[in-house]
Amino acid sequence: MDNLKRCYIMGLPNAGKTTYLAALWYSLNNASMQNRIKLNTIGNAKYLADLSKRWVNADQLDRTKLGYEETEISIDIIDENKNIFNLRFPDFSGETFQNQYEKREISDELVEYIRSADGILMFINVNDIKGITFITDMPNDSIPLQDKAEMGERNYPVRNPKQDDPIQIQVIELLQFVKLIKNNKVSNLGIVLSAWDLTKNLKVKLTPEEYIKKEMNMLWQFLKSNNIFLTSFWGVSAQGGELESRDDLLNIDEPMKRIVVESNCGEISHDITLPIYKVVGGENVE
């Protein structure tokens, strides 16, 4: 093999990683449309093939669960310049990253994946991004009560990090892990906003980066202030719409045409390989 490229795919539960992989595998196997990278040889790909079949049928995809991750996905691909390389990436469950955030622990296996990664894709589901809540707007039962007794005992609500901590805080913490493990080495990072089709009705059209700046300003500032991350921003609708509109999705003659990928300069295509190609060293992709 001429070259080995490793892509580390991250994201909290429901971030869109599995749907992306399903659409990616279908796209790599489809020679009728132009993608930046294509499949060169087929190896043991039953896991991806099963995902892809369900994706084509617009069926609900099961989220990757703890203990059932596919940690050794390997695909031989060829790029537009005829460079052949082996692309390896793990499909870890969102709960793996959730536990990493909550418990501040990480396995040796994950450390090695991060350390050896040529590029990183961080998935964020736009449907999970919550607006800013000011203290004055919070319900009374979520604000710590004042002294319950003369001794100063206080009654604080129980915090559920998964539900209570903003997504951007959790994403920043996960990227802090990456920064530490890679010892501040400059890294290609792709921020992938999944379910991008949900933004089409916005009053003001925003690029993926503008959306992050508006809805997740703290994350945007973190990325801008940490120049070790060479960050590209992508809006991706891997399914092309909500599964409630399954009939509409199935009416599209070529499943790849359901895919929407928007780069940060506003270019829209059906090429779902662009984000992954960019972070593993593809040139002139933005």
Give the tens place of pLDDT for each residue, 185-243: 999 999 999 999 888 877 778 999 999 999 999 999 999 998 899 999 999 998 877 75
In a domain, 285, yes or no: no
In a domain, 91, yes or no: yes
pLDDT tens digit sequence for 33-87: 667 777 876 555 777 778 888 888 877 776 555 444 566 677 778 777 777 777 7
pLDDT tens digit sequence for 28-48: 887 656 677 778 765 557 777
Number of domains in the chain: 1
Residue pair 214/205 in contact (Cβ under 8 Å)? The answer is no
Give the residue-averaged pLDDT of 92-115: 82
Q: Give 151's pLDDT tier (boundaries 50, 70, 90).
A: very low
- Rg for the chain (alpha carbons), in Å? 20
139 pLDDT above the threshold of 80:
no
Beta strand extents in the chain (DSSP E only)? 4-11, 37-41, 70-79, 84-91, 119-125, 187-194, 229-237, 260-262, 268-269
In a domain, 228, yes or no: yes
The domain in which residue 16 lies consists of 4-279
Structure tokens at 76: 């031989």
